[in-house]
Structures are given as C-alpha cells and as structure tokens.
Amino acid sequence: MESFEVTKKDHDDIVVLYIKGYLDAHTAPVLENQLQSLIEEQRYKIVVNFKDLAYISSAGLGVFMGFIENIREHQGDIKLTNMNPKIYRVFDLLGFPTIYDILEDEQQAIVKFAR
C-alpha cells in the first residue's frame, strides 16, 4: 500500500516538514492537519522538504493554497524545497513558481527566513 507521512523538525522559529510518499486526494488531509496544527501554534515560518515525495496531485497543491494567505498575513511563508523534476513539473504546469518560493534545498530556505 502506498502511503504518505509527514515528519517535523525545528530550526529555532522555523519548522521543516518532511513529506514522504504519495500525496493525493486521499492523503492530503494528513498534510492539511499538520499545517493546521502549526497555525494554531502560531508557527508561520514553514519549510516543506519534498525530497522523499514520490507523487503529488492537485489535492496536494491545494493544501498549500489553503494556508498561504493566512501565513503571509502573519509575516510568515511556506517555502518548498528539494523537489524532484516530476514533482516540480506539476507545480510548474499550474503556475505555482510565481506564487511560491521553490528552492533547491532546505538550507537555502532556512537562510532566507533568517535574513
């Protein structure tokens, strides 16, 4: 059975979420709940590392759309990193690179938040 997991790591006030597996309409609520918890904890500097993500559909992209406005209103951001070309293509086809900060690796995102 294909699965989806989110794990979390703290870098001071920045949270890095590692997403792994298959992110579709079935598993998107897992990521949605995780982001919702962060908002409730008023954690608004979020990096999502896609290194181990094998698949994404628009349901997964929709999760980010659902939170980005609120997060930016609180001077935060969701920065996306370490996408493989197959995953990046989906973001690119939908024009997401104009809305989201998509970076090569996690460290770049952390440095940008720290500036």
Partner 1 sequence: MSTDKITYQLKIPSQTDNLELIRLFVSAVAAKVGFGPDDISKIELAVDEACANVIKHAYSKNLKQLIELAIEIDYKKISIIITDHGKGFDIKKLPHGDVKEYLAEMRVGGLGIYLMRALMDEVEFDSQPGVQTQVKMSKYLVKADQVELVQE
Residues that bind partner 1 (CB under 8 A): 1-2, 22, 24-26, 55, 57-59, 61-62, 65-66, 68-69, 86, 90, 93-96, 98-99
Handedness of CA 52, 58, 64, 66 (dihedral sign): negative
* Residue 41 Cβ vs partner 1, minimum distance, rounded to whole Å: 23
Which residues are CB-contacts of 25 (< 8 A; sequence separation ≥ 6)?
57, 59
Give min distance, CB of 112 to partner 1, in A: 22
In whole angstroms, what is the distance from residue 69 CA to residue 57 CA? 21
How many DSSP H helices and E strands does the chain contain? Answer: 4, 5
Q: How far is the CB of 31 from partner 1 (least distance, A)?
A: 14
Q: What are the strands, taking DSSP E only, across the chain?
A: 4-11, 14-23, 45-56, 77-81, 101-103
Nearer to partner 1 among residue 1 and residue 12 (C-beta): 1
Smallest distance, Å, CB 81 to partner 1? 20
Q: Confirm if 89 and 58 have CB atoms less than 8 A apart.
A: no
